[in-house]
């Protein structure tokens, strides 16, 4: 498969996931159908959210933010936070272990090696706990790519897991809490935030070594 074809498939997958999960925010009928389905099948919500957040990390170019945003709209904020956190953390652990066990050859199936090696060059050489935590926080839009990059280093799994949790839990808690507050007050307050955050993540998240913003600037 050529690089261009592969990139087109990543883009197509990203568009489909974004459209499917953000549609409830713009269609009252679809929104009510989703709410009714969840009330009848409560186990469906955690399964769907955790699964798609997981593959959004392991298949690194695919976006996970539309899943998180949709879950805030249709679920209590604390449920949305927990389900998304479980999906993201199982995904980053899987990414780390894939890189640690199978190295570059396997990683290339899930993400761009150029991008992974680019993040490797940015990993702090002095790997104290809080230095790595700060690095994780400043690379939050590429959390999944960084997990692969860290898996290719000699960092211990204990250090990786603890720094990932410290970097992910506080900011995601605040994000889902504030998102839940916005959604409860008015959908007209929530939707602009959804569009802004989704746009930022799409433009800043790397694909094939470059993010969309850098590609546009260089045109």
For residue 26, the 8-state DSSP code is T
5 has a pLDDT exceeding 70: yes
Q: What is the pLDDT of residue 212?
A: 41
How many separate domains does the chain show? Answer: 1
Q: pLDDT tens digit string along 39-71?
A: 899 999 999 999 999 999 998 778 888 898 889
Q: How far apart are CA 147 and CA 136, in angstroms?
A: 9
pLDDT digits (tens, 9 = 90+) for 74-129: 899 999 999 999 999 999 999 999 999 888 888 887 777 777 878 777 888 777 78
Whole-prediction pTM value?
A: 0.79
Mean per-residue pLDDT of the chain: 80
Q: How do residues 137-175 score in pLDDT, each as one tens digit?
A: 877 767 778 888 888 888 899 999 999 999 899 988 988
Q: Assess whether pLDDT exceeds 70 at residue 73.
A: yes
Return the higher-pLDDT residue of 178 and 90: 90
pLDDT tens for 181-209 read 777 765 555 556 555 655 555 554 544 44
Q: Give the H or E element holding residue 211.
A: strand 210-211
Helix H segments across 108-208? 113-122, 129-138, 143-151, 157-185, 187-204
Dihedral of the alpha carbons of 181, 187, 192, 196, in degrees to the nearest 10: 60
Query: How far apart, in whole angstroms, are the C-alpha atoms of residue 161 and residue 133?
Result: 10
Domain membership of residue 170 as a residue range: 3-217
Helices (H) and strands (E) in the chain, counts: 11, 2
């Amino acid at each position: 498969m050529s690089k261009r074809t592969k990139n087109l498939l990543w883009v197509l997958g990203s568009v489909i996931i974004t459209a499917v999960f953000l549609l409830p925010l713009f269609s009252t009928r679809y929104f009510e159908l989703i709410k009714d389905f969840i009330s009848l099948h409560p186990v469906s919500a955690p399964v769907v959210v955790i699964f798609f957040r997981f593959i959004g990390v392991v298949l690194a170019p695919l976006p996970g933010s539309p899943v998180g945003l949709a879950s805030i709209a249709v679920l209590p904020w604390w449920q949305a936070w927990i389900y998304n956190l479980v999906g993201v953390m199982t995904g980053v652990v899987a990414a780390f272990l894939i890189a640690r066990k199978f190295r570059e050859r396997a990683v290339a199936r899930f993400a761009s090696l150029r991008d992974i090696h680019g993040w490797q060059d940015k990993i702090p050489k002095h790997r104290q706990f809080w230095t790595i935590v700060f690095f994780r926080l400043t690379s939050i839009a590429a959390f999944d790519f960084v997990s692969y990059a860290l898996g290719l280093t000699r960092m211990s799994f204990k250090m990786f897991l603890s720094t990932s949790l410290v970097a992910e839990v506080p900011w995601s808690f605040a994000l889902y809490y504030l998102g839940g507050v916005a959604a409860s007050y008015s959908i007209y307050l929530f939707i602009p935030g959804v569009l802004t955050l989704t746009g930022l993540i799409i433009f800043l998240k790397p694909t094939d070594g470059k993010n969309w913003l850098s590609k546009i600037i260089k045109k």
